[in-house]
Chain A
Amino acid sequence: MAFSDDDIRKLARLARLELTEEEVQTLGPQLERILGFVEQLAELDTEGVEPMTTALDVTNRWAADCVQPSLSREAALANAPLADDECFLVPPVLPPTS
């Protein structure tokens, strides 16, 4: 697998990372080397093997559907970078129109 700088930038956008040019240059070869290493899994025949998503044997654990006390609004907002008395405040989704 060879990555162009544009491949890395595209991947960074998917990952919501804004990489510096220097990081783009370093990450390409590093990812190639790591992926080259993990690709040895291809030599194994896994036909008919069920994917293992968890080491647990438990299936599902049900909780009673009832209202219980939880975090106060004040506590939930305490670490917000920006908030008013009731809500998290975030930048607008859409770019400013001008």
Chain B
Amino acid sequence: MTIPLDSAVHLKRLLAAGDVSAVEVARAAIDRMAVTEPTIAGFTHSVGEPLLQQASSIDQRRAAGKSLGALAGIPVAVKDVLCSADMPTTCSSKMLRGFRPPYDATVISRLRAADALLVGKTNMDEFAMGASTENSAFGVTRNPWDTSRTPGGSSGGAAAVVAASNVPLSLGSDTGGSIRQPAAFCGVTGLKPTYGRVSRFGLIAFASSLDQVGPLGWDVADNALLLSQIAGLDARDSTSLDAPVDDYMSAVAAADVRGMRIGVIRDQLESDGLDAETRAAVQRAIGVFRDAGAVIVDVQFKHTKYWVPTYYIIAPCEASSNLSRYDGAHYGHRSEITADEAKQMGPLVATYCKSREEGFGAEVKRRIMLGTYSLSEGYSAKYYSKALRVRRLIRGDYDEAFGQVDLLLGPVTPTAAFALGDKVDDPLQMYLCDLFTVGANLAGLPAISLPAGATAAGLPLGVQLQAPPLREAALFRAGAAFQKATDHHQQRPSL
């Protein structure tokens, strides 16, 4: 039989019924990778044949009637920003080439405890900075729907390997849209949970007040299955929330929006930055939710035009601070310095500067420079402190809206996937890809990207639902209702 590598829920059922074995699933994932990877290049590392041994032990335990984890035998790929003790962890940076973390990220430990098959690490924009995965030191990843186009970023590999039906599930991270934008570009479903819902212990930090780990898969059911396994308090992450984890699978099963109030941010829907085909997809989605019994409400946000400027001050400031740890002393790339360089700055500082110069790519340097400038003496009030105040105003818009509505519906991205190379020379154009996604990060809210159709050229389009803090279940409930009424999440690229 064909192994359905495009549905974790389906695989789980087949595995439990004994219709397929974990070894057969692992074999299928490895074989599929051999077919898709030469074109897509979504992985930075793959486990390969040893995966079969792990799968075999799962089969033996199942045969012996022993209890198994909720993801037993299901292949999962992990963005290379999460520390894994048995696989290299590079953040797609030359700085961390060959780095072997001494410990697992908590989410990885949880996947192991759930008996998931960890197939490998996925490509990304270096240190999660970018919207196209072109900033990777290890080459570009291609969009399975059109290989001349980007899969989005920064979790481009994580989205592409799902869209290539290589694995049903992957883990990404989202600081300003890095799960949701690639999900939209690749026609899959991706969720950024509430800030603090998922542990970040072992997540390599980019912007600590914004970063969050989350799932990608074809549909909301698979997203819910994965989030159920990784959500919850972690004593090793002091920013993880001590709140009960809702029953996400029940929320998916409910699939009901009757009486739900769904707000549409009017100025975003009418934004000049929004492409006509993407706008049409949002309008169609509004119709779907209305037909399913939701009440659609116009809401006003006063500060949407300030989302991207605020984000591009706060995120680089936090990045410049977080990335100061890459000093060529404790781990990562260290450059050899010349006698002349040693004399000019002193050997230690010269080593810092040269190691960082050689180890980091252009976008990472740009963000470090931006952050250093925005935090420097005489400028921090104008930039950093100002952005923090505007951040509160942005959160205020959300708080006010959620006084009237349960969820917000709108676009994920201004356009469908753009061509590789299109924006690499224009950083500001690349930043504007985040127009509709950074709000949820600044406010700390959960948001999901749902497949919502395609352009005339056949490129996937997404729509976004946003919810108040810790209301992931409401996103799943509404997302499942949407996917019950549509078949966008069932489209597959021909590869």
Tell me if B366 and A30 are in contact (CB < 8 A): yes
Residues of B within 8 A of A31 (CB): 366, 369-370, 373
Query: Would A17 and B348 be within 8 Å (CB), given that A46-B386, A53-B388, A80-B331 are in contact?
Result: no
Query: Would A52 and B346 be within 8 Å (CB), given that A27-B369, A34-B370, A38-B309 are in contact?
Result: no
Residues of A within 8 A of B348 (CB): 90-93
Q: What is the interface size of chain A, counting residues whose CB is below 8 A from a CB of the partner?
A: 53
Tell me if A38 and B312 are in contact (CB < 8 A): yes
Residues of A within 8 A of B254 (CB): none
Tell me if B373 and A35 are in contact (CB < 8 A): yes
The chain B residue with its CB closest to the CB of A93 is B348
Tell me if A38 and B383 are in contact (CB < 8 A): yes
In the bound complex, CA of A17 to CA of B427 (Å): 19
In the bound complex, CA of A12 to CA of B428 (Å): 20
In the bound complex, CA of A96 to CA of B343 (Å): 7
Question: Out of B327, B350, B376, B387, which one reaches A11, CB within 8 Å?
Answer: B376
Which stretch, B41-49, B56-64, B170-178, B389-397, touches the partner chain A? B389-397
Tell me if B392 and A41 are in contact (CB < 8 A): no
Is B100 at the interface (CB under 8 A from chain A)?
yes
Is A44 at the interface (CB under 8 A from chain B)?
yes
Which stretch, B134-142, B267-275, B351-359, touches the partner chain A? B351-359
Tell me if B239 and A46 are in contact (CB < 8 A): no
Query: Would A23 and B365 be within 8 Å (CB), given that A34-B428, A52-B389, A92-B346 are in contact?
Result: yes
Tell me if B392 and A51 are in contact (CB < 8 A): yes
Query: Would A91 and B351 be within 8 Å (CB), given that A27-B369, A44-B306, A52-B395 are in contact?
Result: yes
Residues of B within 8 A of A44 (CB): 303, 306, 390, 393
Query: Would A40 and B354 be within 8 Å (CB), given that A35-B373, A61-B238 are in contact?
Result: no
Per-residue contact bits, chain B 94-115, to A (CB 8 Å; 1 contact, 0 not)? 0000011011000000000000
Tell me if B209 and A54 are in contact (CB < 8 A): yes
Tell me if B372 and A15 are in contact (CB < 8 A): yes
Tell me if B353 and A17 are in contact (CB < 8 A): yes
Interface centre among B351, B372, B373, B431 (most CB of A within 10 A): B373
Question: Which residues of B from 129 to 188 have beta carbons under 8 Å from A?
Answer: none
Is B300 at the interface (CB under 8 A from chain A)?
no
Tell me if A17 and B356 are in contact (CB < 8 A): yes
In the bound complex, CA of A48 to CA of B29 (Å): 56
The chain B residue with its CB closest to the CB of A91 is B347
Is A71 at the interface (CB under 8 A from chain B)?
yes
Per-residue contact bits, chain A 24-65, to B (CB 8 Å; 1 contact, 0 not)? 000100110111011111101010011111111010010100
In the bound complex, CA of A14 to CA of B345 (Å): 12
The chain A residue with its CB closest to the CB of B329 is A90
In the bound complex, CA of A63 to CA of B238 (Å): 9
Tell me if A34 and B386 are in contact (CB < 8 A): no
The chain A residue with its CB closest to the CB of B302 is A44
Is B55 at the interface (CB under 8 A from chain A)?
no
Question: Out of B100, B313, B368, which one reaches A17, CB within 8 Å?
Answer: B368
Question: Out of A71, A91, A96, which one reaches B103, CB within 8 Å?
Answer: A71
Tell me if A42 and B386 are in contact (CB < 8 A): yes
- B378 CB, min distance to chain A CBs, angstroms: 12
Is B34 at the interface (CB under 8 A from chain A)?
no
The chain A residue with its CB closest to the CB of B96 is A79
Per-residue contact bits, chain B 312-341, to A (CB 8 Å; 1 contact, 0 not)? 110000001000100111111110010000
Question: Out of A33, A39, A95, which one reaches B347, CB within 8 Å?
Answer: A95
Is B444 at the interface (CB under 8 A from chain A)?
yes
Tell me if B347 and A92 are in contact (CB < 8 A): yes
In the bound complex, CA of A37 to CA of B374 (Å): 13
In the bound complex, CA of A53 to CA of B390 (Å): 11
In the bound complex, CA of A20 to CA of B303 (Å): 39
In the bound complex, CA of A31 to CA of B349 (Å): 25
- B300 CB, min distance to chain A CBs, angstroms: 16
Residues of A within 8 A of B342 (CB): 91, 95-96
Question: Out of B103, B209, B369, which one reaches A12, CB within 8 Å?
Answer: B369
Residues of B within 8 A of A52 (CB): 388-389, 391-392, 395
Ordered by A's residue number, 14 sampled pairs between the chains whose C-beta atoms are within 8 Å are: A11-B376, A15-B356, A16-B324, A17-B357, A27-B365, A34-B312, A35-B370, A40-B306, A40-B309, A41-B313, A42-B386, A49-B390, A75-B102, A76-B102
Residues of B within 8 A of A (CB): 99-100, 102-103, 195-196, 209, 235, 238-239, 241-242, 303, 305-306, 308-310, 312-313, 320, 324, 327-334, 337, 342-354, 356-357, 360, 362, 365-366, 368-370, 372-373, 376, 382-383, 385-393, 395, 427-428, 431, 442-445, 469
Residues of A within 8 A of B (CB): 8, 11-20, 23, 27, 30-31, 33-35, 37-42, 44, 46, 49-56, 58, 61, 63, 71, 75-76, 78-82, 88, 90-96
Which 4 residue pairs are nearest across A and B when measured between Cβ atoms?
A55-B444, A51-B388, A91-B347, A79-B331
